[in-house]
Amino acid sequence: MTAQLRLAVPNKGRLQGPNADLLSQAGLVYERTERALSAPVANVDMELLFVRAEDVCEMVADGVAALGVTGLDLLQESGTDLQVVAKLGFGSCRLMAAVPNASRLRDLGELEGMRVATAHPRIAGEFFSKQGVEVTLIPLRGSVEVAPKLDVADAIVDLVSSGSTMMVNGLRPIASLLESQAVLVARRSVDGLSEGQQQVVTMLQAAVAARRKRYVVMNAPQDALEAIEAIIPGIEAPSVIPLAHNGKVAVHSVVDATEVWQVLPRLKDAGATGILVFPIESLIP
Ligand code: AMP
């Protein structure tokens, strides 16, 4: 008998909520009772393990879980030899080197001999040695951005999404070390995974892909079809369905979510009417 498929997911913090949203969009049904360390999935033969985001890689590397959701930064910092089998499109941030606003330091080279506080000492260490800049790393677990104020460090390497935390703490970014987002990790690449594991990867990828698209439906005169097709080619080609009334068709297509608001007025100008825009739950190309 094969062991049950386990997916390790963040139990709290920034990645927990968006990950729970993705799992439910992907159709996984489970109940998470407070403080539960695991939960069975009702409609798929698998179990969720709720662990700290920074422990997910360890769980997968040790074989406790077959798959895990964590940040790309945490994967690289873990030093484990895991594969990214899907990018999940949330938890986007950048790992950046920053110095106090008042500091005269302008570029990385000037950090030579300085103290750099970070919760990512492995990534920062590899980065600075690749740049040929020798720094003293001060590993911290949190509140990295206050280290210069406390004179614990001259610079920091920390995660930034909007940049407002750095700004509030009087820090100025000088270099970007890594673009991070939530990722699905496994011990092997997709091709080496079991059928059950591949199905989970596909379900999550389909939910992620669907978020980037909208389903657009409209009516149009038959003779406007060419102009409409030029605006919305769809994934392959739009579906065109004849309507009961002469000379009119319904057109169904899939459009990039980021483009939908530019596309709608153009469709209207081309003669489309009754345009509807729907979210998509899953998309398997
Ligand atoms: P947690 O410490 O559990 O809240 O999770 C932190 C993880 O969330 C980081 O390792 C990143 O992968 C991700 N993340 C996304 N945006 C940010 C941000 N602005 N600051 C810190 N972590 C972020």
Confidence label for 24 from pLDDT (cuts 50, 70 and 90): very high
Atom of ligand 1 nearest to the CA of 162: 19
For residue 109, the tally of other CB atoms under 10 A from its CB is 10
Please report whether residue 285 resides in a domain: no
How confident is the model over 233-261, as a mean pLDDT? Answer: 88
Q: Provide the domain count of the chain.
A: 3
Atom 21 of ligand 1, nearest CA residue: 159
How confident is the model over 210-227, as a mean pLDDT? Answer: 96
Same domain, 143 and 21: no
Atom of ligand 1 nearest to the CA of 71: 12
91 CA distance to ligand 1 centroid (A)?
7
pLDDT (tens digit, 9 = 90+) per residue, 115-138? 999 999 999 999 999 999 999 999
Same domain, 143 and 270: no
% residues pLDDT > 70 (the chain): 98
User: Quick one: which of 172, 140, 134, 166 has its CA closest to 153?
Assistant: 140
Same domain, 82 and 185: yes
Domain extent for 19: 5-90+181-210
Going by C-beta distance under 8 Å and a sequence separation of 6 or more, which residues neighbour residue 220? Answer: 228, 248, 249, 250, 251, 270, 271, 272, 273
12, 50, 92, 159, best to mutate for ligand 1 pocket (most atoms within 8 Å of CB) = 159
17 phi/psi in degrees, rounded to 5: -60, -55
pLDDT (tens digit, 9 = 90+) per residue, 54-87? 999 999 999 999 999 999 999 999 999 999 999 9
How confident is the model over 234-254, as a mean pLDDT? Answer: 87
Q: Which residue has the tokens 């899939």?
A: 254
For residue 234, give the CATH number of its domain.
3.30.70.120
The whole-angstrom separation of Cα 83 and Cα 268 is: 45
14, 69, 185, best to mutate for ligand 1 pocket (most atoms within 8 Å of CB) = 14
Going by C-beta distance under 8 Å and a sequence separation of 6 or more, which residues neighbour residue 160? Answer: 93, 94, 95, 96, 98, 166, 173
Say which residue, 249 or 236, is predicted with more confidence: 249
Confidence label for 236 from pLDDT (cuts 50, 70 and 90): confident
Q: For ligand 1, say whether the CB of 14 is within 6 Å of any of its atoms.
A: yes
Residue 274 above 90 pLDDT?
Answer: yes
Same domain, 186 and 217: no
Atom of ligand 1 nearest to the CA of 74: 10
For residue 15, give the H/E element and its range: none
Residue 2 above 60 pLDDT?
Answer: no
Atom of ligand 1 nearest to the CA of 72: 12
Atom 3 of ligand 1, nearest CA residue: 13
Q: For ligand 1, say whether the CB of 93 is within 6 Å of any of its atoms.
A: yes
pLDDT of residue 9: 98
Neighbour order of strands in the sheet with 5-10: 38-40, 46-51, 5-10, 67-71, 182-186, 83-87
- Amino acid (1-letter code) at residue 170: G
Same domain, 172 and 241: no
Same domain, 102 and 54: no
Q: For ligand 1, say whether the CB of 71 is within 6 Å of any of its atoms.
A: yes
The whole-angstrom separation of Cα 198 and Cα 193 is: 6
In terms of average pLDDT, the best of 39-43, 160-164, 165-169 is: 39-43
Atom of ligand 1 nearest to the CA of 142: 2
How confident is the model over 42-52, as a mean pLDDT? Answer: 96
Confidence label for 3 from pLDDT (cuts 50, 70 and 90): low
76 CA distance to ligand 1 centroid (A)?
14
Confidence label for 235 from pLDDT (cuts 50, 70 and 90): low
For residue 128, give the CATH number of its domain.
3.40.190.10
Atom 12 of ligand 1, nearest CA residue: 71
Same domain, 74 and 202: yes
Same domain, 16 and 62: yes
pLDDT of residue 1: 44
* Strands of the chain, DSSP E: 5-10, 38-40, 46-51, 67-71, 83-87, 93-100, 115-118, 136-139, 155-160, 171-180, 182-186, 213-221, 239-242, 248-256, 273-279
pLDDT of residue 234: 65
How confident is the model over 192-216, as a mean pLDDT? Answer: 96
First to last CA, the chain: 33
Q: Average pLDDT over the chain, rounded to whole?
A: 95
